[in-house]
Structure 1
Amino acid sequence: MTAFVTIADGVHLVRIPMPGGGLPYSLAYLIEDGNGRLHVVDPGSPTVEAAGALSRAMDALGRSPEDVAGIVVTHLHADHAGGVAALREATGAPVLMHEREASAAAAIVRGLPSPDFAAWGVPAERRPELAAASSAPSSAALPTPDVLLADGDLLDVPGRRIRVLWTPGHTPGHLCLHDEEADLVFTGDHVLPTINSGLGLGGPTPSNPIADYLVGLRRIGALDSRALPGHEEPFTGLAERTAALAEHHLGRAREVAAHPEGTVWDVARTLTWTGGWDALRGFTLLSALAQTALHRDFVALGGLDAG
């Protein structure tokens, strides 16, 4: 595997290996600024292998850790932000993330309540499995920002206009980045080329994550720029992909609306799942139930009428 792939002038993709046997890698990006320094987007997992992949890419670019001017985090999940602490220690560079994501990370550190499995109608024999899957992530992998970002901010990247776009849904403070002159959108996990990202994966929010996500899809889709996602590969056709993702969630909401009675468990069993309901175990089952609960709330709030 090559150390990096150049996507556009001064923008380089680095495949960061992921542990666990699921997706093989996340995608980090190295952005060169007009002063010859680097800005890292999503350094990846908190492993030696991940740090080594970034180090090799910088070496291949003829750069050292001292050349890193900033570390931007699209969202708090460990496969994107777990390597922040080690990279900050090696480079001394500040860590930047959206202010809402910083609040979500702090809430996770304090401890989030587990879902009410009884209220969801989960059979007693399946509850221990789900309780284990719902354990909070290690606070050691959560990023601590030095700089808080807000929607519409321009990053301090000399020679480039990179704007912060707040796109909640996957997590409360997920952000995308729009390089306005290169017409590139760093989409994190908000939009992936073939995978449907889970929603509501950063703790409770005052608004419905599905409704929030649909707003963000419309905003990002309107750019129709080349997409640089957090997994898989860069792609074009962003407008078509965001429309397909929106229809996926609206279709799921219509499925849920067709079964207004029963518990979350009862409704989830009637829905269409990629690998089939019976194949869902542990975290995938927990995610399916959580998504069903979010869709029920979305329907109850009139989301289908708005959509």
Structure 2
Amino acid sequence: MPSSSAADPAVESITPGVRRVRVPMPPGTGLPFSNAYLIADADGRVHVIDPGSPTREAHETLRAALGGAPVASIVLTHLHADHSGGAAALAAETGASVLVHERERAGLALIAAGLPAPDLEAWGVPADRRPELLAAAAVPTGPAAQLADAVTGVLTDGVLLDLPGCRLRVVGTPGHTGGHLCLHDEEAGLLITGDHVLPTVNSGLGLGGPTHSNPIADYLDSLDRVAQLDRGDLRALPGHEDPFTGLRERCSALAAHHLRRADEVAAHPGGTVWETARTLTWTGGWDALAGFTLLSALRQTSQHREFVARRG
């Protein structure tokens, strides 16, 4: 059974050579920590998956867990700051390479160049709610410019990471962002899922800049892709909350959630995005949405409308 270190309760051993670090997140972000995973290779080096937020507390927590071990690479499941924010500083300290999926690097370039503000008027957003949404949209999706400069290499679907003594394969899972990835160790029975599949939280979709494909359709395809990896004993290592089993069932539940929402959208084909969004079932209720969460809800409603139209 995995156990927390007596010396550092933030660190948990998953299997020999794999540790989880609970990296604290800034107050007010809704979740107490993100998970970084430390993978030891046969040469005595460490590979860091998702180093966490760009805060001093997060950085110190991760460095304490590393204990001075040489860091060979930093792999990011996706570009959001609670997963990638510490990458640039850690790479500068250690000389480690920083790797993302090739589609995520393209998304970073778009964000760093500056994304256009959402067309709130076209969405039918009341005038008194537009300032908060414009303010939320002005906050970068991640520390894009700094991260884009720190990335030294890209990964593609199916490639094995350069980890001596370990077979960790890249599984492209677009949806949450356009270039999100998971990492599969078939021999150890582990799948690092980032924010693609969380044990209880429904991740937002389309949160990595514009894509040519529909994020809802991408996400459903990606859920099916990782569900097929679970033969009953696969252990999921998520980006938040705790490791879990039953990945196939969780993927099924997430797919059902989005298909229900698509059906709700299909039942209200007319009106604006705002008017449609108000009719949908939101976890905390429509009235509780504000700022970023409201913006995310409207974006997802727009994506679902497009998904429904494409689905016919």
- For normalisation by structure 2, the TM-score amounts to 0.93
Q: Is the 8 A contact 1:200 1:209 kept in 2?
A: yes
- For normalisation by structure 1, the TM-score amounts to 0.95
- Map of 1:46 onto structure 2: 54
Mean alpha-carbon deviation: is it higher for 276-285 or for 235-244?
A: 276-285
Q: Which of 205, 228, 250 is equivalent to 2:259?
A: 250
Q: Which of 268, 274, 284 is equivalent to 1:259?
A: 268
Q: Which of 31, 38, 42 is equivalent to 2:39?
A: 31
- Map of 1:161 onto structure 2: 167
Q: Write the distance in 2 (CA, Å) between the matches of 1:230 and 1:193.
A: 10
Q: Which of 208, 215, 231 is equivalent to 1:202?
A: 208
Question: What displacement does 1:210 show?
Answer: 0.5
Question: What displacement does 1:142 show?
Answer: 3.1
Q: Write the distance in 2 (CA, Å) between the matches of 1:219 and 1:181.
A: 18
- Map of 2:283 onto structure 1: 274
Aligned length: 298
| Paired residue type of 2:75 | V
Q: Which of 11, 32, 39 is equivalent to 2:18?
A: 11
Q: Write the distance in 1 (CA, Å) between the matches of 2:101 and 2:183.
A: 11
Q: Is the 8 A contact 1:44 1:50 kept in 2?
A: yes
Q: Write the distance in 1 (CA, Å) between the matches of 2:279 and 2:10.
A: 45
| Paired residue type of 1:179 | D
Q: Is the 8 A contact 1:81 1:141 kept in 2?
A: no
Q: Is the 8 A contact 2:11 2:22 kept in 1?
A: yes
Secondary structure (helix, strand or coil) at the match of 1:223 reads coil
- Map of 2:144 onto structure 1: 139
- Map of 2:191 onto structure 1: 185
Q: Write the distance in 2 (CA, Å) between the matches of 1:28 and 1:12.
A: 8
Q: Write the distance in 2 (CA, Å) between the matches of 1:121 and 1:161.
A: 49
**Structure 1 stretches of 5 or more lacking a match?**
none
Question: What displacement does 1:278 show?
Answer: 1.3
- Map of 1:298 onto structure 2: 307
Matches within 5 A, 1:219-234: 219-224=225-230, 225-234=234-243
Identical columns (%): 66
Q: Write the distance in 1 (CA, Å) between the matches of 2:283 and 2:102.
A: 34
Secondary structure (helix, strand or coil) at the match of 1:106 reads helix
Q: Given the alignment of the two structures, is residue 77 of structure 1 paired with residue 80 of structure 2, yes or no?
A: yes
Mean alpha-carbon deviation: is it higher for 118-127 or for 131-140?
A: 131-140
Q: Given the alignment of the two structures, is residue 152 of structure 1 paired with residue 158 of structure 2, yes or no?
A: yes
**Structure 2 stretches of 5 or more lacking a match?**
1-7
| Paired residue type of 1:139 | A
Secondary structure (helix, strand or coil) at the match of 1:296 reads helix
Matches within 5 A, 1:47-126: 47-59=55-67, 64-65=68-69, 67-126=70-129
- Map of 1:20 onto structure 2: 27
Cα RMSD, aligned residues only: 1.1
Q: Given the alignment of the two structures, is residue 237 of structure 1 paired with residue 243 of structure 2, yes or no?
A: no
Q: Write the distance in 1 (CA, Å) between the matches of 2:153 and 2:144.
A: 19
Q: Write the distance in 2 (CA, Å) between the matches of 1:189 and 1:139.
A: 18
Mean alpha-carbon deviation: is it higher for 111-120 or for 138-147?
A: 138-147
Question: What displacement does 1:259 show?
Answer: 0.3
Question: What displacement does 1:84 show?
Answer: 0.4
Mean alpha-carbon deviation: is it higher for 274-283 or for 167-176?
A: 274-283
- What is the CA deviation profile of residues 67-91 of structure 1, one whole-angstrom value per residue up to 9, with x for unaligned ones? 1111100000000000001100111
Q: Write the distance in 2 (CA, Å) between the matches of 1:37 and 1:223.
A: 28
